[in-house]
C-alpha cells in the first residue's frame, strides 16, 4: 500500500503540475469515426487508402473519418515472469508508474481510460472510465500481480485486443518485450505505442563466474559459468533482439521508447508523446 501511494502521489504531482500542465493536448486528436469512402485525392493521407476497395474498383479509394471529441486510451501491461527483476527497482514498479502517469494524463485531458494486464491472454481488465479510481485500481493491480512462472504470448494478446477493443483507440503497450510482438493488424485498426521497460543489468550483466539462477518465467534453476565470454555473447544476443524488435516497430508504424528502472519516467513519456503530435 505504501509503494502504491508513493507511485500515485509522484505520478499525480508530475502530471498535474508539470507534464499535462505544460502540454494540455498530449493525447488529443487521434480518435476517429469512419464516415464514408470516396476517391483518392492528392492531398489525402495514403494511410487511409482502403486497399480492398481500391483493388475491386481499379482506382484508389480512401476512408473518410470524423474526428471524435474524446479519445479512448487503453494501457496494456505485459506482466510475464521476466518483469520481476531489477537492480535499482523492479521493472514491475516502473510499469505501474507508467500506467499511473498515462492514466492521470488521460483523465486530465477529459478522455477515457481502460486498462489491461496480459500474459497468455487477459488477466485483468478495467472498463473505460473517466474516474481517478480507475488509475488507482489499475496501478494497484499491477503492483499486486504475481508474474512468477507466467509467460507473455504476444500473438494471443494482439488477437484479444483486436477483438475486444471495438472503437478506434490509442493503445499503449508496456512491458520488457523480450518476446517479439506482431501488432501489424492491431496497428491498422488503432494507434499503437510501445513502452519498453528494461533494467541496465539485464542488458549488460557483470561477470559472475559459476552461479545459479531461477528463471522467473519458468521457475527452472539455471546453472553455469557466467564468465566474460558467456556474458559478452548474452549481451550480443540482447542487442540483436532489440534491433529486430525496433525494426519491427518501425515497419508496423508503432512509436516506441525505452525506459530503464533508473530513468525519469515522466521525462521519457513527455518526450514520447510530444514527438507524437
Last residue of a domain, one of 67, 90, 118: 67
Q: Please, are residues 161 and 182 in contact by the beta-carbon 8 Å criterion?
A: no
How far is it, in rounded angstroms, from Cα 208 to Cα 113?
44
Same domain, 117 and 229: yes
Same domain, 121 and 109: yes
Same domain, 248 and 139: yes
pLDDT in tens, 177-204: 999 998 999 999 999 999 999 999 999 9
Q: What is the residue range of 270's domain?
A: 2-27+70-276
Same domain, 13 and 37: no
Same domain, 39 and 170: no
pTM of the entire predicted model:
0.81
Whether 26 shows a pLDDT value over 90: the answer reads: no
Same domain, 7 and 62: no
* Domains identified in the chain, total number: 2
Whether 23 shows a pLDDT value over 60: the answer reads: no
Same domain, 145 and 63: no
Q: What is the mean pLDDT of residues 96-123?
A: 94
pLDDT in tens, 61-94: 888 765 555 788 999 999 999 999 999 899 999 9
The CATH number given to whatever domain includes residue 183 is 3.40.50.410
Same domain, 16 and 136: yes
Same domain, 36 and 114: no
Amino acid at each position: 500500500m505504501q509503494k502504491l501511494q508513493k507511485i500515485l502521489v509522484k505520478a499525480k504531482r508530475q502530471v498535474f503540475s508539470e507534464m499535462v500542465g505544460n502540454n494540455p493536448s498530449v493525447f488529443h486528436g487521434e480518435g476517429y469515426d469512419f464516415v464514408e469512402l470516396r476517391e483518392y485525392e492528392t492531398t489525402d493521407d495514403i494511410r487511409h487508402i482502403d486497399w480492398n476497395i481500391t483493388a475491386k474498383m481499379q482506382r484508389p479509394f480512401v476512408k473518410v473519418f470524423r474526428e471524435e471529441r474524446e479519445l479512448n486510451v487503453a494501457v496494456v501491461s505485459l506482466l510475464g515472469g521476466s518483469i520481476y527483476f531489477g537492480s535499482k527497482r523492479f521493472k514491475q514498479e516502473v510499469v505501474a508508474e507508467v500506467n499511473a502517469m498515462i492514466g492521470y494524463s488521460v483523465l486530465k485531458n477529459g478522455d477515457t481510460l481502460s486498462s489491461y494486464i496480459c500474459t497468455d491472454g487477459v488477466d485483468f481488465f478495467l472498463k473505460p472510465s473517466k474516474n481517478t479510481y480507475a488509475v488507482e485500481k489499475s496501478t494497484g493491480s499491477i503492483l499486486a500481480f504475481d508474474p512468477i512462472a507466467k509467460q507473455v504470448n504476444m500473438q494471443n494478446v494482439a488477437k484479444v485486443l483486436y477483438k475486444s477493443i471495438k472503437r478506434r483507440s490509442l493503445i499503449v503497450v508496456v512491458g520488457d518485450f523480450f518476446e517479439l510482438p506482431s501488432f501489424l493488424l492491431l496497428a491498422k485498426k488503432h494507434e499503437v505505442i510501445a513502452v519498453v521497460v528494461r533494467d541496465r543489468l539485464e542488458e549488460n550483466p557483470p561477470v559472475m563466474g559459476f552461479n545459479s539462477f531461477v528463471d522467473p518465467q519458468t521457475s527452472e534453476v539455471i546453472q553455469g559459468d557466467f564468465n566474460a565470454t558467456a556474458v559478452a555473447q548474452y549481451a550480443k544476443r540482447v542487442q540483436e533482439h532489440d534491433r529486430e524488435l525496433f525494426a519491427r516497430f518501425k515497419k508496423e508504424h508503432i512509436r516506441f521508447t525505452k525506459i530503464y528502472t533508473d530513468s525519469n519516467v515522466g521525462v521519457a513519456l513527455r518526450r514520447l508523446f510530444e514527438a507524437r503530435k
